[in-house]
Amino acid sequence: MLFPQLYVPGQQNLYFNKIVFVNCVLHGIYSSLILFFIPYGAMYNSMRSDGKAIADYQSFALVAQTCLLIVVSAQIGLDTAYWTVVNQFFIWGSLSVYFAITFTMYSDGMYLMLTPSFPFVGTARNTLSQPNVWLAIFLSIILCVLPVVGYRFLKTQLKPTPSDKIKEAKKRPPPPSPKRRLRRTSTRRSGYAFSHQHGFGALIMSGRNMRPKSPFATTGTFSPNTTGISVA
């Protein structure tokens, strides 16, 4: 309850209402158009660097789906506010598993084992080795991700939400407190001031930060009795 005004947007349904939904739909429409028309424009009447075909149905599908996967991973990365090891593993792992599965499915071995099910043999190798294709993919990623970044940045500048303000405040170092008197015996008596941050509770209860001269140092508790406190 350090920042009670963080609860207000939830009560006012600010983050999940019809306008937000319409925004999502428009964003989806825009992304779909980009993800189709950028590969379309890049492959229209185009060829590989050795003159052979690149504008065939299988290569076009592969380019579009690679663009899509990378854009979706980037969008998830943008929405992830708290990057732990688990997040890193799953986001980068998804992308690598996509490429691994694609190359496996389009390999010679799978085709020769189950011919009618894997007709895309050779497409991944032949298409993803073209710089043309990677330039088109890079362009689609930037076109899909940058508007989102720009829009969110604009919102934090012009209409910051309470959580944005708090994040900004936390980033700046707190102003230095005026110098206190040199007597600090009272502040070291117990670790109570730090007990609200997580991780310190156990430390406090162990009594390790208590001064040796305090009357209860031998028992390590607040009470002179040897057994624990029971609060009924």
Partner 1 sequence: MAVNYSAKEEADGHPSGGVGLSGGGAAGGGGGAVKTRKPDNTAFKQQRLPAWQPILTAGTVLPAFFIIGLIFIPIGIGIFVTSNNIREYEIDYTGTEPSSPCNKCLNVSWDSTPPCTCTIDFTLEHSFESNVFMYYGLSNFYQNHRRYVKSRDDSQLNGDNSSLLNPSKECEPYRTNEDKPIAPCGAIANSMFNDTLELYRLDNDTRIPIPLIKKGIAWWTDKNVKFRNPSGDTNNLTALFQGTTKPVNWPKPVYMLDSEPDNNGFINEDFIVWMRTAALPTFRKLYRLIERKNNFQPTLQAGKYSLDITYNYPVHSFDGRKRMILSTISWMGGKNPFLGIAYITVGSICFFLGVVLLIIHHKYGNRNTSADIPN
Does 224 bind partner 1 (CB under 8 A)? Our answer is no
Does 212 bind partner 1 (CB under 8 A)? Our answer is no
Chosen residue from 188, 189, 208, 211 binding partner 1 by CB under 8 A? 208
Binding to partner 1, residues 54-73 (CB under 8 A): 54-61
CA distance 83 to 49: 40
Q: What is the CA radius of gyration of the chain?
A: 29
CA distance 83 to 79: 10
Output 20 or 203, the one with its CB closest to partner 1: 203
Chosen residue from 20, 76, 135, 217 binding partner 1 by CB under 8 A? 135
Size of the site for partner 1 (CB under 8 A): 87
Residues 6 or more apart from 214 whose CB is under 8 A from it?
A: 189
- The DSSP letter of residue 197 is S
Chosen residue from 69, 164, 190, 200 binding partner 1 by CB under 8 A? 164
Output 98 or 132, the one with its CB closest to partner 1: 132
Region binding partner 1 by CB under 8 A among candidate stretches 7-15, 169-177, 187-195, 209-217: 169-177
Distances (CA, A) of 108 to 103, 113, 161: 10, 9, 54
Chosen residue from 1, 15, 79, 131 binding partner 1 by CB under 8 A? 131
User: Residue 53 in 3-state DSSP?
Assistant: strand
Does 231 bind partner 1 (CB under 8 A)? Our answer is yes
Chosen residue from 149, 187, 192, 211 binding partner 1 by CB under 8 A? 149
- The DSSP letter of residue 160 is -
Output 14 or 154, the one with its CB closest to partner 1: 154
Binding to partner 1, residues 11-40 (CB under 8 A): 38, 40
Tally the C-alpha atoms within 13 A of residue 76's C-alpha that lie toward its C-beta.
15
First to last CA, the chain: 26
Does 113 bind partner 1 (CB under 8 A)? Our answer is no
Does 93 bind partner 1 (CB under 8 A)? Our answer is no
Does 115 bind partner 1 (CB under 8 A)? Our answer is yes
Distances (CA, A) of 45 to 40, 42, 51, 54, 79: 10, 9, 11, 9, 37
